[in-house]
Amino acid sequence: MEHWTIATVAEQSPDFRRVLWTGQHTQLVVMTIPPGGEIGQEVHEDIDQILTFVSGTGKAIVSGQERNVAQGDLVVVPAGRTHNFVNTGENPLILYTVYGPPEHAEGAVHATKEEADAAEESGQDEPPTQ
């Protein structure tokens, strides 16, 4: 059994993206988006994603629809939907997300968005094969 006080773990992580747990069908990831930063527009063709916001303020953009997000909000991104999340506040936008199936390499830690992008481009951020 894995157990976290997830809001505390997410707030203590300084990294842009940190994979906490990877299972056969899902993956738990915490993210910290710096002020003025964003995840970047992307689409996961075969992966559903659920994001829960722990602190900060931002904007969720899913399939062209925009909503403000803050602590306690949850956004569902079905597979195949274009999406981006932007930090609109003065403090980090902190969240945890569940991917189904896994999206990132097991145990991956990327300190910055640039590091995360480089890992994806090089193929070093591939999820485990099932």
Which residue segment(s) compose the domain that 30 sits in?
A: 15-122
The answer to whether position 94 is within a domain reads yes
Tokens matching residue 118: 């480089």
Lay out the sheet containing 74-77: strands in order across: 74-77, 48-55, 93-100, 27-33, 17-22, 109-110
Residue with tokens 């951020």: 125
- 112 part of a folded domain: yes
CA–CA distance, 55 with 12 (Å, rounded to integer) = 12
- How many residues are listed for the chain in this entry? 130
User: Which domain CATH number covers 104?
Assistant: 2.60.120.10
- Angstrom CA distances, 10 to 17, 18, 56, 62, 86, stand at 10, 9, 12, 23, 17
Instruction: In whole angstroms, give the CA distance from residue 58 to residue 40.
Output: 13
Locus of tokens 């936008």: 93
The answer to the question of residue 40 being in a domain is: yes
Residue 114 lies in a domain: yes
Does any domain span residue 68? Answer: yes
Residue 8 lies in a domain: no
Residue 127 located in a structural domain: no
pLDDT in tens, 36-63: 999 999 999 999 999 999 999 999 999 9
Mean pLDDT score, 11-22: 96
pTM above 0.85, yes or no: yes
Give the number of domains in the chain. Answer: 1
Residue 124: pLDDT band with limits 50, 70, 90:
confident
> Is 9 among the domain residues?
no
